[in-house]
Amino acid sequence: MEAAPLTHRILLTGGRSRLAAVVYHHLTSRGARVISLSRSEGEHHLGLENLFVNNLADEADTILHLAWSTVPLSSERHVGLEWEHDLPLLSKVLKTVSSSPNRERLHFVFFSSGGTVYGNARGGRPSQESDPCAPIGWYGHAKLAAERLIEEYGQRHRLAYTILRISNPYGFPVPTHKPQGIVPFLLNSARTGAPFSVWGDGTARKDFLYHSDFTAALEQVVRHRPSGIFNVSCGESHTVNEVIATVEATVGRKIRIQHVPANAWDVHDSLLDNAKLRAAVDWRPTVGLAEGIRRAAEETR
């Protein structure tokens, strides 16, 4: 049975990111009214200041907070950037939400990082939301600080919030200047012959979540408003070498690999248990790695 149309009024921060574009397209296709907010106004994005000046939260049902200025690599290169920009912005958004007359209806959803906040998986088992977090990079530390800020506001002001610890969504175009996500760069290397740099020996494991599985999960979170922290993952982790082999088999070409030293801050073993989210909402991932890479190759051809 097809789900009922979404009637939610949604504010989407960080609207210029590629993942935000995927989210916007999916939710609007389901019937939601989504207002995209960005630090720089224009191209169908309202300026983020409208959230504070024009009281947009007073008329919204859901706020999806994607606004973030770093990825793991840039976070290491510009240490402390999140404490200068992202955490103060988050605090300002939460303060606005907590003072809104619409506070009891609002649902605040934060996009955290399942791949970095836990650190390396313990004992080879998938990380669960109840496990202690031990981030090893600045990006993970910043995301965890954001989570704790949201939890504090939630307790003090009775805000309805959901924190999503997302693995590695893929299958959509990403800017070539943004060093995050290996699948699109591997596809490009397979097609163009450009070398691909592997950090370490390629045995690092990550959870790769196809974008349609991610947006399906997000839609259920918007509909059902589960409270607390949830991993959003495929539930299967693959080594970088396995991903390379899958891309090569899909495209039918070998990739020129260059090995460079592994970064001490990069999580080597990322395994995420998604059972809590599956139990909370009507969702489960359906696209495995091989099928996801096949679709990604077709969509980005």
Rounded-to-integer distance, Cα 140 and Cα 124, Å? 20
β-bridge mates for residue 111, sequence order: 164
Share of the chain above pLDDT 90, in %: 90
Predicted pLDDT at 176: 64
Rounded-to-integer distance, Cα 291 and Cα 54, Å? 44
Predicted pLDDT at 181: 81
Is the Cβ–Cβ distance between 273 and 127 less than 8 Å? yes
Per-residue model confidence as pLDDT tens digits over 71-119: 999 999 999 999 999 999 999 999 999 999 999 999 999 999 999 999 9
Query: Is residue 179 over pLDDT 80?
Result: no
Rounded-to-integer distance, Cα 92 and Cα 266, Å? 30
Query: Is residue 175 over pLDDT 80?
Result: no
CA triple 38-43-45, angle to 5 deg: 30
CA triple 142-145-151, angle to 5 deg: 145
Predicted pLDDT at 39: 87
For residue 177, name the pLDDT band (cuts at 50, 70, 90): low
Question: 9-173+208-235+271-286: what CATH class?
Answer: alpha beta
Task: Output phi, psi for 223, to 5 deg.
Answer: -70, -45
